[in-house]
């Protein structure tokens, strides 16, 4: 069986955003997309050296796009209506698109709502099935204060990213079985932090 390893890892929080310099349009993104993009940029992977169409993206979001949905809903009484820009981010997969656009990654992509433990097994499956040679994995834990009041979860603003690739080396090699990968996910995705 082909070995798969985690080649790079990063964690960012809301506190890291003010210093982020990821282009003129970074400010337009919703919080989840900003954190996802910054987490991937913080991996310091040279995507120029990889085939873009063979690099996938696998993202899980703890609360989907709910924080942005709430922001959009709260703007409904504003003059001119809620922000059209915000509307574009009222989908859990919006951050996948932003990462794909920014890093010009055109490989397969997956988006999950909720369970962070699914990312590594699903990303590993992409590689094992030969659909990709590498995969950017992202877990976003974003719960804004307004959203927190509704879903009774503590506020959070954090994203973690991992870069999976075929072959050994890197930070660690992935276990062979899904259950062990889920256990590994539980370890590496466990920290939640408010930003």
Partner 1 sequence: MQISTHELKSKIIESLKLQDITPEQIDDDAPLFGTGLGLDSIDALELVVLLEKEYGIVIKDIEEGRPAFRSVRTLADFIAVKRPQ
Q: Which of 17, 88, 91, 150 binds partner 1 (CB under 8 A)?
A: 88
CB–CB of 153/76 below 8 Å?
A: no
**N-term to C-term CA, the chain:** 40
**Closest to partner 1 by CB, 30 or 141:** 30
Q: Which of 44, 46, 76, 79 binds partner 1 (CB under 8 A)?
A: 79
* Contact status: 25 vs partner 1 (CB under 8 A): yes
Q: How far is the CB of 85 from partner 1 (least distance, A)?
A: 5
Q: How far is the CB of 80 from partner 1 (least distance, A)?
A: 4
Q: Which of 23, 51, 130, 168 binds partner 1 (CB under 8 A)?
A: 23
Cα distance between residue 183 and residue 190, in whole Å: 10
Q: Which of 78, 129, 152, 187 binds partner 1 (CB under 8 A)?
A: 78
CB–CB of 164/123 below 8 Å?
A: yes
Which one of the spans 26-34, 112-120, 143-151, 172-180 is the region binding partner 1 (CB under 8 A)?
26-34
**Helices 66-74 and 31-41 meet at what angle, rounded to 10?**
140
Residue 14: phi and psi, rounded to 5, are -60, -30
* Contact status: 28 vs partner 1 (CB under 8 A): yes
* Binding footprint of partner 1, residue count (CB under 8 A): 15
CB–CB of 53/107 below 8 Å?
A: yes
Lateral strand order in the sheet of 134-143 = 109-113, 55-61, 134-143, 156-166, 4-13, 172-173
* Contact status: 27 vs partner 1 (CB under 8 A): yes
Which residues lie near partner 1 (CB under 8 A)? 21, 23-28, 78-81, 83-85, 88
């Amino acid at each position: 069986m082909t070995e798969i390893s985690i080649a790079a890892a990063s964690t960012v929080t809301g506190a890291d955003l003010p210093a982020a310099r990821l282009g003129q349009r970074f400010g337009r993104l919703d919080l989840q997309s900003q954190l996802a993009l910054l987490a991937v940029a913080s991996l310091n992977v040279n995507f120029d050296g990889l085939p873009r169409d063979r690099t996938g993206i696998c993202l899980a979001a703890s609360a989907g796009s709910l924080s942005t949905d709430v922001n959009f809903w709260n703007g409904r009484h504003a003059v001119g209506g809620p922000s059209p820009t915000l509307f574009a981010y009222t989908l859990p997969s919006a951050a996948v698109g932003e990462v794909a656009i920014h890093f010009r990654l055109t490989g397969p992509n997956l988006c999950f709502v909720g369970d962070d433990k699914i990312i590594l097994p699903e990303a590993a499956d992409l590689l094992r099935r030969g659909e990709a040679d590498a995969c950017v994995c992202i877990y976003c834990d974003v719960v804004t204060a307004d959203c927190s009041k509704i879903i009774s979860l503590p506020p959070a603003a954090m994203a973690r990213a991992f870069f999976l690739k075929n072959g050994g080396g890197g930070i660690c090699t992935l276990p062979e079985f899904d259950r062990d990968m889920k256990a590994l996910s539980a370890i590496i995705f466990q920290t939640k932090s408010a930003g």
